[in-house]
Amino acid sequence: MAATWAKAPDFADQPARQAEVRAQTVVDKQHYLEQGLTPLRCQACQSQVMVRKSSSHQTSVQWTEPPQTHCPVFAELSRNGGGLGRPDSCPQLEKTIKWAVDEGVVEVPE
């Protein structure tokens, strides 16, 4: 039998522990992907995004629909054959997020 490597144990021989890990994974996923997100519309193109500031230097943005459907920056990129995610953001959206932070709409943890 060949040895296998896993990043983490699968607890196949411990069903109760396996169930605990799976339940915690659901909680973690909800925390990291959904909790603390604030809905925000770009002031330039009205694209709807969800934003979370984890620090003054770190911003998470989740698009609620494909960015190229509303954002001219991403639409141009898509037309030119560029992949989504390049650039990582739109300068107008970045200005909107900065405005939202300055106005207290999006909070930055201390």
Collapsing DSSP to helix, strand or coil, 38 comes out as strand
72/5 Cα distance (integer angstroms)? 45
Residue 41: count of CB within 10 angstroms of its CB: 15
5/15 Cα distance (integer angstroms)? 20
Residue 7: count of CB within 10 angstroms of its CB: 4
Return averaged pLDDT per consecutive 10 residues of the chain, 110 residues in all. 70 91 89 86 95 92 90 86 65 96 93
pLDDT at residue 81 in the model: 73
pLDDT at residue 13 in the model: 92
pLDDT at residue 35 in the model: 84
Model confidence pTM above 0.85: no
